[in-house]
Amino acid sequence: MAVAETIREKLAAAFSPARLEVRDESHLHKGHAGARPGGESHFRILIVADAFQGMSRLARQRAVNAALKDELAGPVHALAMTALTPAEAGETGQ
Amino acid sequence: MSDNPIFAEIKAKIDANPVMLFMKGTPQFPQCGFSAAVVQILDYLGVEYGSANVLESPELRQGVKDYSDWPTIPQLYVKGEFVGGCDIVREMFENGELRAFLEEKGVPVAA
């Protein structure tokens, strides 16, 4: 399975997000030490979930990192993220 | 936890520098876009900070990840407190929180 797809599935299972975007930005890091020829090394995610309510930025990222522990230990070299609650994202979540 | 000899070295750096950045490369020559972004923000705010180049030491590179329980570099510490990586620092900077946080911690910031 493509790494992006694995990320998507794990985050969906862990946070039931109202919105989830996973972008492979590996092409922006070509030639960089952590980049691999096949890509799938650098990702950017936007995740909007009720689960983040009451959590600090640090706690949110720790939670996301924990959900993607295996990927971060393996193929994923960099993970940029924005983790918001529906209210912060200006969405009702309905 | 504490049986890792590199932890004492990391803690010493954090204790010695009110603002301490673990990064790839140096502030003068960052070797990663995420590290460069944090350097840029700290420089913009006129903050004095210490830095350590994790690319010079595989032990430090893995050690600081374990120490902070954070899987990526850069990592920013202020007065011994782990603030976060590039995303968090950038978000805090963009909404003015970072300046307020530094001032609250007693770190001199350029006007």
**pLDDT tens per residue across all 94 residues of chain A:** 689 999 999 999 999 999 999 999 888 777 666 667 677 888 999 999 999 999 999 999 999 999 999 999 888 988 999 999 999 998 654 4
Instruction: Of A72, A32, A3, B105, give the one whose Cα is nearest residue B92.
Output: B105
Rounded CA gap, A42 and B108, in Å?
35
Give yes or no for a contact between B45 and B99, defined as CB atoms under 8 angstroms apart: yes
Do A65 and B34 count as a contact with CB atoms less than 8 A apart?
A: no
**Domain A3-89 coded CATH 3.30.540.10:** no
B87: contact with A, CB 8 A cutoff: yes
B32 annotated as ligand-binding = yes
The residues that bridge with B38 in the sheet, in sequence order, are: none
Nearest CB to A80 within list B70, B84, B87: B87
Residues in chain A: 94
Please report whether residue B20 resides in a domain: yes
Number of domain units in chain B: 1
Task: Map residue B41 onto helix, strand or coil.
Answer: helix
Interface test with A, best of B38, B72, B98 (most A CBs within 10 A): B72
Give this prediction's pTM.
0.89
Helix (H) or strand (E) holding B10: helix B5-16
Residue B93's CATH number: 3.40.30.10
Please report whether residue B92 resides in a domain: yes
Please report whether residue B95 resides in a domain: yes
Angle between helices B86-94 and B33-44 (to 10 degrees): 30
Residue contacts between A and B (CB atoms, under 8 Å): 33
Helices then strands, each counted (H, E), chain B: 5, 4
Please report whether residue B111 resides in a domain: no
Do A82 and B87 count as a contact with CB atoms less than 8 A apart?
A: yes
| ipTM score above 0.90 | no
Please report whether residue B109 resides in a domain: no
B55, closest residue in chain A (CA to CA): A33
B78-96 confidence digits (pLDDT tens): 999 999 999 999 999 999 9
Residue-wise DSSP of A14-54: HH--SEEEEEE-GGGGTTSTT--TT--SEEEEEEE-GGGTT
